[in-house]
Structure 1
Amino acid sequence: MREKIIEKANDLFLNFGFKSITMDDLASEMGISKKTIYTHFQNKTKLVEATTDHTFCAIRTGIDTILEEKREPIEELFTIKAFVINHLKNEKASPQYQLQKYYPKIYATLKKKQFEVMQDCVIENLNRGIANGVFLKHINIEFISRIYFMGMNSIKDQDMFPNKQFEVAELQQNYLEYHIRGIATNKGLQILDNLLKTFR
């Protein structure tokens, strides 16, 4: 039952936001009593914590699977982006922004874990891209990996990029293209242009 509660809560939070969904809403959607939910989760904060951890683990597993395929570095970035967007249901309710606003401690913990995982992935991707001749040799890998992570988080800021004006998938696509064009060789740019035709 605990896993079922987490899965349903995750679906509701992604679609309607952490703030909007109450324990009553969750109980109603599942056709169970609120008491049953409280048997597994002391309060909503504990449920949010469990849900974000569940989502993080699921996304990390999916990304690890993609990394094991050892795709061409630029294609790998596009494949990961597509997987994450699909898994997060296009982030209709801006979950990360709401998490930061209403559950700052959980957000801080999640961001730290995301950075640790993403840093390793991006550094490996950059090194392989340089070795394959698709990324410029002179780039500062440590700087690029960190600025890439910061940018990926910043485009989720609803004050800067409101949902009504910027569609999430398009934002992600534009940012990824921006990132690659700044570090790609001519060979890399050709690969990027071909991928843009596929992933648009």
Structure 2
Amino acid sequence: MNLKKNIIVNSLELFESYGIKVVTMDDIAFNMGISKKTLYVHFSGKKDLVKNVVHFLFERHFLAIDKILAENESPIKKINKIYEYAVNYLIQVPPIFHLDLQKYHAEAYRIYDQNRCEIIFGIVKKLLDEGQLKGEIDKSINTAMFCEFHLISLDKIINSKTLSLGYSVKDILHNTIGISLKGIFKK
């Protein structure tokens, strides 16, 4: 792995563990055993680094989702696996990461939000539409509205203490997205 990518990976780990605001360029350099000057060879500043971290994060997410999409499963099973992947990730990351991103790094948050919307309104909506065409999902369901509802639900999960209350991924998935997915299956 080249140094720039190594800095991004290391920074992501620090940001996810402690939040973006409190982690300084000095902290990152110290943690990696490199000089701060070396960081600035690769990134113009913390905002640039955060944007690169968000791009890298979604590269990882899209790779995982692409593996799910390549499986020979029904659209509903693929949706469930995508949401399970998302909830598993969200459980591991304290809400401060997302809150700091939104509050202090507007440009990086815009990138984050665009990618998140691509997953929900691009990939998941396409799978819902495919499920409707295959007769697995009630054709009267507005798939765009369904996606909007789940985006709001994921935001609430991210920004709440629900994840720290000891609920399992299976419980969170079942009691949020799982129940509403069952409600749209064709009877």
TM-score, normalization: structure 1?
A: 0.78
Alignment match, 1:45:
47
Q: Is the 8 A contact 2:68 2:78 kept in 1?
A: yes
Give the TM-score normalised by the residue count of structure 2: 0.83
Instruction: Say yes or no: does 1:96 pair with 2:98.
Output: yes
Matches within 5 A, 1:134-173: 134-158=136-160, 161=161, 164-165=164-165, 169=169, 170-173=171-174
Shift of 1:16: 1.6
Report the residue type matching 1:60 in the other structure: F
CA contact (8 A) 2:141 2:184 kept: yes
> CA shift at 1:180, angstroms?
1.0
- Distance in 1, matches of 2:173 and 2:22, equals 25
The alignment-based identity, stated in percent, is 28
Q: 1:6: how far off?
A: 0.3
Question: What RMSD in Å do the two structures reach over aligned CA positions?
Answer: 2.5
Shift of 1:164: 4.7
Residue-by-residue CA offset, 1:1-50 (whole Å, 9 max, x unaligned): 10100010111111221122111221121111111111111111111111
Q: Secondary structure at the match of 1:155?
A: helix
CA offset at residue 66 of structure 1? 1.1
Asked if the contact 2:8–2:53 (Cα under 8 Å) also holds between the matched residues in 1, the reply is yes
1:178 CA drift (Å)? 3.3
Most deviating of 6-15 and 124-133: 124-133
Query: Which structure 1 residue ranges, 5 or more long, are not aligned?
Result: 187-200
Q: CA deviation at 1:89?
A: 6.6
Measure how far apart 1:126 and its partner are: 1.1
- Number of paired residues? 184
2:60 corresponding residue in structure 1: 58
Partner of 2:177: 176
CA distance in 1, matches of 2:132, 2:63: 26
| Counterpart contact for 1:123–1:142, Cα < 8 Å | yes
Deviation, 1:133, is 3.8
Q: Kindly indicate whether the alpha-carbon contact (under 8 Å) linking 2:91 and 2:163 is maintained by their aligned counterparts in 1.
A: no
Deviations, residues 85-106 of structure 1 (Å, cap 9, x unaligned): 4556721354222211221232
Q: 1:71 aligns to what?
A: 73
From the superposition, tell whether residues 27 and 85 of structure 1 become closer, same or farther in structure 2 (CA, over 3 Å): farther
- Residue 194 of structure 1 corresponds to none
Tell me the distance in 1 between the aligned counterparts of 2:158 and 2:107: 18
For the 8 Å contact 1:90–1:168, the answer to whether it is kept is no
* Distance (Å, rounded) in 2 between the aligned partners of 1:55 and 1:174: 27
